[in-house]
Each structure stands twice: as structure tokens, then as C-alpha cells.
A and B are shown apart, each in its own frame.
With several copies, the nearest count.
Chain A
Amino acid sequence: MSYFDRATPPTRESRLASCITYGGTICGLAGKGRRSCLENAERSFSQGSICLLLPALGIINSLPDTAVLIHGAVGCGTVTHSQNCIVRMGSAARHGKARDVLWFTTALQELDVVNGGERRLEDAIREIDREHSPKFLVVVTTCIPGIIGDDVDTLVERIAPEIKARMLPVHCEGFKTSIWATAYDAVYHTIGRNLLEPPEGELTSGPNPRLVNLMNVSSMGRPDELELERLLRALGLEVNIFPVFADPGGMHRATRAALSVSTCPTHDDYFLKHLRERYGIPFSIRHMPIGIANTALWLRDIASYLGLKDEVERVIARETAHLQAALEPLLPLFQGKRAFIAAGEMRALANGTLLRELGFEITGMRTFHHDEFAEGEYEKLAADGSDFVVNIADCQPFEEANLLRRLKPDVFMGHVNANSTAARMGIPTVAIYQVGMHFVGYRGVYELARRLHRQIRNPSFNQRLAEHVRLCYREEWYRRDPFSHIQRRGEDQL
């Protein structure tokens, strides 16, 4: 039985044995696979982080003609105020006009906790359908319904015939998983179950041998899509961009592609396996197109599936030469500078390779979780024999602050909302993604290099800040082992 036949997808912990707790080195990780951080390693002190609801909403909020109903307490989902900015900019870039997300919350209260929230949810669905008539209504389940046992799937199924909107249940009970990446599975799960069959009456053409599904991620903006589209078109391919900002009503067209192309294995494996199993569409998923070598690997992978070996080498050669010439004047500033990276695992690793290409030395890396997809990446970085600290953590800036105080890197690249520790320590910082700017492909390398160049040229903002503000950690903490709150019950540790 496929995962997609069940109402809810599995967690990443159970499906992939992903983990979030490790402190060691790259050499300690490379080649060791999932055993590298044992499932039961845990922190005896932790700081808040995010849950799968946030990245799930990152995709869901972007969908056109879609309303979002969050079934939970009133606070779950207010992250949308932030994602709304991205949706506005993204809509403007794609459709010429900013659009605000239309979202709702059942705002569960004490009585609902006691009596169950199904009645309120049903009323909310009916009322939203009546008052707002969205084409699609995503119903997102959060912690409280998960604990009190609201059966959202059954409810949705029961009332579906009376609701004009196509309902899409998504499960985001935060307590069930520490791996945010489960969010992607949660969203793909509802897409796979509800949106891949063409609507009745629509003529379905057969598979298109030049069409590839380009799986975007919500951290990539339109410029990144255009760069990848440009490269794929240079191979003579047509591109179906999917699923962020994609029209839910047209998602079934993904089943006509000749190949699905992931830009981030962590993001897409669950769905691409489903597309292959169910619709026979192969996928390429091994590399992230970030950095010169990785972009080439990513392109070659695609080409190998489609028999475009000669074409791809021509494209890679031309692009690489063009890029290398452009990078030339920027590189001297980077030589030997020591960089620290913190982000999602695939992204962090790919950027590590990229920074090395620019002449940086990697002095440390923090990744949000670890799973099997990254193994090859660790090996790429460990291949030259150099070693550096690796810390797997769902943020946990206290470990980061300790590490940075020791390592004193020259530049820091971090995930959105995870740069301020380094910034307050006076280290030049560059966000590792920022929706709306270039990060991927060849253009991404160039633009990132320019960004690094200007941040290193004038890091005054962070420097001044560091002179006048301090972090909230005790001085004693910096003198302790940064990983001393990781409860080591296994092997392979420092």
C-alpha cells in the first residue's frame, strides 16, 4: 500500500530516520549515513525553533485561487503575515499584481479543547465556502486537533459533496515530528491524493517527451526559476514549474511530463517517488543546482535521463566559461576567508561547495537536520581531506554562538531568521536564501559572489551592532563544550 493511500503521511523520522542532533565534524559524518546521529540523541537544553506548519504554509499560501483554513489555536498560522510578503512579491513577479493571502483560523478556544473542534471546523468550512467561494480550500490541522482527536479527514470527506470549494486537508501537528521537512510530504500528500487526476471532461493529451517538471521550493523566487528555466530551455526542454505558486487546478499536468527534476532532494523525494510509481515518470534528484560543479552535475543528471549528453556539455562549457570570467575580479577578496554556513542540510552543503569554488575555506557548518540524501554532499566536501565542525541542530543558536566565538569566521551564511546571532557578533552575514533574489544556477553563483563581496567590503552594520549589543548567554557558556547539552547515548561522537 502506498503512503498516499493513507489519510496522513508518515513523519520523516519514521520514513527516513532523519535526526536533528549532532555535534562533530564533517569527517565524522561523511560516509556514515544515517547512523551518524542516532535517533535518540537529544538536547538537555533547547531553544525554540519552528514546526512543519511553517514550511507547509510557505507552499500552501502561494497557491492561487486558494483559501487556507488553519484548524487550531489563533496563533497557528500568523506566520502567514510574513509569508504574505513573499506571496505579494511573488504574485507581482509572476502575474504583475501583488496579492494578499486569504486565510482563516478556527481560533480554537477552551470549550473546543474540551468538546472537540470538529463542529467549529465544519461551520467554518461551510461559512468560508458560502462567503468567500474559494476554488480550493486547504484545511490545515495543527497540534490541538491532533491531541484532542478531531478527525478532519473523515469530516472533509463527509461534507465534500455540499462544499463548492475543492478541499485539501494537510496535516501539520507540530508535536508529531521534529523534522520540518515532513511539511513537504504533508503538502505533497494532499496534492497526490487530490489534484493529480485531470478534471472530468478535460481532454488529456499524452505524455510530452520534451516536458520536465521543475520542482521549485518556496525559498526560491522567480529569478531562480527563470535561471533554471533558461538552462533547461537551452537543452531544448519545456518546463512545468511545480508546486509553489502553481495553479492547483492545473497540477494534474505534471503527470504528462517526461521527467521530474528536483532542485532539493530533501524537498521532493516523497512526491517524486509517487509520480514514478503511479504515473511512471522518472525523476532526477541527486543534486542541488547551487554552485558551479553542482549545477553542472544537476544538468548532467537531467541530460542523462533524456539523452542530451552532448547538448549538456556544450551548455555547461559555455556557461562555466562565461561565469568564470565574470567572477575573476571578485575572487581576490575571498581567498582564504573562512566561512561558516547554517541552513537546511542540502542547501548548506551545496553552498559549502560553492563557497569553496569562490576561494573560501569552510570553517564550520550547521544544518537543521540530517538524512540520507545529504550523504553524497558530505563526501564531496570531505573529499579533499579538510575537516571542519558540523553541528546538526534545529537552529539552537546557543550552540552556534559558542562555535562562532571559537571559530571566528570571516563570513556567515545563514537561513532566514538565523543570521542575527552571527550579526550581533560582528561577523559579515549573507542570507543563504531570500525569495526574490538569485541563488541557483550560474547566475546564482555570480550574484551570491557579488553579495558576499559587498558584505565583506563593508560589514559596518554588524560590527557596530557587535560593539554595542550582547547576546543573552552567560560568559561561562562560551567556555563550555558547545555540544555539552547533547546527550550522547551513541557512538561516532567527538
Chain B
Amino acid sequence: MSSYIERPRFSCALCGALMAAAALPDTIPIVHSVAGCVGNVAWTQQGGAALQVGGPCGCLGIPGTNLREREVVFGGLDRLREQIANTVVVMEGRLFIVLTGCVSEVIGDDVDSVVRSYKWAGMDIITARTGGFRGNSYRGYEELLKTLFRDYVRTAKRKSSRLVNLWGVVPGMDVFWRGNLEAMRRLLESMRLEVNTFFTGEDSLETLACAAKAALNVVVSPLYGVEAAEIFTEIHGTTYLVAPFPIGPTATGRFLHMVAEALHIGNEDVDRVIDRESERYYRYLSPLTDPWIDLDLQRYALIIGDANYAFALADFVADDLGWLPEQVFVTDPVPEDQREDILGRRAGLRPEPEHRLVFETDTSAIRHRLDPRWFPVEDGNDYRESFSPAFVIGSSMDRELAESLRAGHLSVGFPVANRAVLDRSYVGYSGGLRLVEDLVGAMVAAR
């Protein structure tokens, strides 16, 4: 690993855990750290989360102990006790989650003991260790899930054969998380499944607490939430399926089949859904055919994204759009030894040749690791082969790069500073159509 990360496309563990905790229904996070951590999250969202800031608490409404030098010297547990006691008085919530930050962890506060005492007193309160030095926002999400599964989800006597839990979409890091979770929920519901997605408006603390009844956990990510899934299996016995994040008809059909197979559901329900949704997808896509060909909208695609999106976008543009994703950059800091795992989890998909798939966290380094064929041929009678016309699907930080490649660009991955996302989703069938609209929109804007 390098000694630095340049312009990381994620924040710290606390940020990830906080964005996720704030997204849970009726839940109040309590940040045990210095005051600035919460504001950092709010401003990070302002610039990176496609104009979505804060949860129901508002961006600076998250309770926090706001530690100062005094606590660094004498410990912060008294302050934490006081804060918890008063949080219940001020804040409307039913579940309270204490999230630790760097400072409380480095000074060694025994947060567990405090939380335990409130828990024994009957309060629904849990805690996760999410100090920034423990890792990035994806790690924070994972830690939050682990805490929930360990300390909040109740053991269940029996499984409900058509109930599944689904996770792997990281609130805030996936700026489309709200629409994406809703879309996946709808897809699985249309297969006559009951679905817990934990973080949407249709979830509740009750269904979260009963999540152990699920017959299957579906992790729609090769990376995020897999550890949590293992812990879930350990504690509650529910097995899990690691499925690729499904964008567009090909991947979504495969996804639905994987889920059905894991649940030992007959193909009937799956095929009905796939047939209906595919019919609809291609009915809507079909009128684009003439412009697609006549305007030559096939592109060499440069994909830059996290482990969910990088693979999902590459598969979508290759399998459904007929694009050529010549290089795919995964911007997560994935240790060498885990890279094989990730690739292994792309079960059934063709392996990516080495030169096509690049793990790279640093924004400028992406440019340095580009195949020279991305760089545009200067005008004149130059016959050098090039990846042109090109399109960059990345974050808003990749605009300069796209411009220098004379390529189109769409901001999809964090940070997304230059668009607003509300319920938009790129997942599933309709999400695929939405992505086609947005990609083409970026290509023909001057038309």
C-alpha cells in the first residue's frame, strides 16, 4: 500500500456507519467523538452524495459527545453517559446507536461498558467501533451491520421460507442507494418474496429485529457486507448468497435466478418476472434502435467505480449495450490477497483479463495507468488505433480526465457533486433504462 491515498472516493468508517445508522428507521445515532466528525459527514455529503444531505435528523442534528481536550486527558465516558441520558429526552427514536470516532477510541474509552449499562436498564442501545483509523466508509457500514446482526437482530426459532434479507448497497457511498434498495426490494417482491432491506422507508425496526427468520441473506456486492453475512450465518444460521450488483436485463435475470436457486424456488416465479420485465425493457428500448445505430452510440468505456459499480457497469455496458469496457478501475483499497476473492465471487462471469481490471484508489494514478490507446489521436492523417469514441463512467472527479480524452462522462460513483439524486436507481430493468437515458443524454447534449 502506498503511504497516502489521493482524493479517496470514500470517507472514514464513522462516516459510513453514520450514514447507514441515520438511514435506519426510528434510529438515533450518537457519535462519541469530537464535534467535527458529524459536520465532516454533512459537508462530505454536500459535495459527494448527489445533493443528498442528512437523514431525518438533518445534517447537523446527529447527537454527539463533542469531546474536547479535557476528555482526551481524563476520558470521555462521563460525557458519554450524560449525552446518552439526555439524548433520550430530546430525540425521538427507538433505537440508539453509539458510534465511536478516532478520538474516543485512541484514548481508550470503554464504550461497551457504558452502553451495556443502558442496555441492562432497558434501553434499545448498541454500539459499533467505527474510529476513522479502522478503515473506510465501506468498513463502517460493515461494522454497523455486524453490530446490528449481533446485538439487535433477535434469534429466531424458525425460518420463513420466502423471507430474505438483502444488503450490500452502502448508504451514501452509493448515491443511488435509496432508489436501488427500493428497486431490488420490488424485484424480489415480484417473485413473491418478503424482503428486508433495513434502510428504506418500507423497512422497520420490527422487521430488522426479526431478520433472523429469513431463509436467505442476499449480499449484492462482492465486498461490502460479506463479513457481516458470515457473522449472521454464525449467529442466526441463515446462509447467504453473494450476488453481483444487478444493472440491466442480463445481470438482473441472472440475479433473480441466483436468488431463486439459493431459495430452492421453482423457476416459475422467476421466469414470469423475467419475461414480463424483459418484455417491458425491450419494448421501451426498441425505439432507440435507429438513433443508437445512426448516431453510432457504441463507445469504448472507461469504468471507474467501487467494487459494486465497477463490475456492474462494465457488465451492463458490455452485455446489454454492446460497449467495449476496455479498462475497469476499482477504486476501493482492496488488499492483494482479497482481490482473487472478489473476482471469484463474480461466479459465472467471464474473467477479466489482467490489463483490463485495475485496482487503484488514487485519482491521478488512474490517468497514469491508462492504456495509451485512450488518449485521443490528434487530428490529421494519424492511423494510430485508439479507444475512440470513448465514454467515462466515473465520479464527478473524473470530468477533467474525460475532457482530456474527449470522452463523454456521467457521474455515477461517489463523489457526485454535479447532479441531484432522489429516488433514481440504476438497478434492475427499469434502472437499466434509466442509465441508458442518462448515458445517451450525456452524449447528445449538444445535438
Residues of chain A at the chain B interface (Cβ within 8 Å): 43-54, 69, 72-76, 78-85, 88-89, 92, 98, 100-110, 112-113, 120-121, 123-124, 127-128, 131-132, 143-144, 147-148, 174-176, 178, 226, 230, 319, 322-323, 325-326, 329, 394-395, 397-398, 414, 416-421, 423-424, 429-431, 434, 437, 442-443, 446, 450-451, 454-455, 457-465, 468-477, 485
Contacts and interface: CB of A to CB of B under 8 A. Distances in A.
Contacts of A323: 383
The range of chain B's interface size is: 35 or more
B184 to A, nearest CB: 21
B86 A82 contact: no
A424 B48 contact: no
Given A50-B35, A147-B106, A420 B447 contact: no
A472 B5 contact: no
Given A319-B381, A454-B298, 5 more contacts: A49-B38, A72-B132, A74-B8, A109-B135, A468-B279
B404 interface: no
A344 B329 CA distance: 42
Contact of A81 (B39, B44, B319): B44
B169 interface: no
B344 interface: no
Contacts of B53: 417, 420
A81 B137 CA distance: 15
A74 B11 contact: yes
Interface string B43-79: 1111110000110111111111111110110000000
B383 A124 contact: no
21 contacts: A45-B83, A49-B36, A49-B60, A50-B43, A51-B36, A74-B136, A75-B13, A82-B43, A83-B43, A103-B7, A108-B132, A113-B133, A394-B66, A418-B60, A419-B290, A423-B292, A454-B298, A458-B324, A464-B320, A471-B61, A477-B89
Contacts of A230: 381
A468 B69 CA distance: 41
A483 B43 CA distance: 27
B428 interface: no
Contact of B3 (A47, A101, A106, A451): A106
Contact of A431 (B296, B381, B415): B296
B227 interface: no
B336 to A, nearest CB: 16
B10 interface: yes
Given A148-B106, A175-B67, A395-B60, A104 B5 contact: yes
Contacts of B10: 74, 78
A441 to B, nearest CB: 9
Interface in B211-255: 249-250
Interface stretch (B119-127, B260-268, B281-289): B281-289
Interface string B1-19: 0111111101111110000
Given A72-B132, A451-B296, A443 B381 contact: yes
A88 B446 contact: yes
B37 A75 contact: yes
Contacts of A443: 381, 383
A468 B63 contact: no
Contacts of A80: 7, 47
Interface in B303-350: 318-324
Contacts of A43: 66
Contacts of B137: 75
Given A47-B63, A109-B133, A75 B47 contact: no
B400 interface: yes
B131 interface: yes
B412 interface: no
A458 B66 CA distance: 38
Contacts of A465: 282, 285-286, 289
A50 B31 CA distance: 13
Nearest to A443: B381
A147 B285 CA distance: 40
B21 interface: no
A104 B4 CA distance: 6
A110 B103 contact: no
A469 B6 contact: no
A43 B250 CA distance: 41
A310 B103 CA distance: 56
Given A73-B12, A143-B103, A454 B324 contact: yes
A46 B324 contact: no
A465 B417 CA distance: 23
A144 B90 contact: no
A485 B8 CA distance: 38
B354 interface: no
Nearest to A49: B35
B61 A461 contact: no
A48 B69 contact: no
A423 B289 contact: yes
B134 interface: yes
A75 B447 CA distance: 22
B113 to A, nearest CB: 21
A424 B31 CA distance: 23
Given A47-B63, A464-B249, A469 B282 contact: yes
B39 A51 contact: yes
Given A75-B40, A75-B132, A147-B72, A397 B5 contact: no
Contact of B133 (A54, A89, A110, A175): A110
A76 B12 contact: yes
Given A47-B62, A144-B102, A469 B294 contact: no
A460 B322 contact: yes
Interface centre among B65, B135, B296 (most CB of A within 10 A): B296
B282 A468 contact: yes
A323 B106 CA distance: 56
A44 B80 CA distance: 10
Given A78-B15, A132-B364, A143-B102, A85 B324 contact: no
A46 B66 contact: yes
B61 A398 contact: yes
Contacts of B38: 47-50
Contacts of B433: none
B378 interface: no
Contacts of A450: 385
B233 to A, nearest CB: 26
A329 B34 CA distance: 48
A128 B108 CA distance: 33
Contacts of B36: 48-54, 174
Given A45-B63, A460-B320, A464-B282, A421 B4 contact: no
B28 interface: yes
What are the 6 tightest A-B residue pairs by CB atom distance, in nearest-first order?
A48-B38, A51-B36, A75-B12, A73-B132, A82-B47, A50-B39
Contacts of A48: 31, 35-39, 41, 60, 62-64, 66
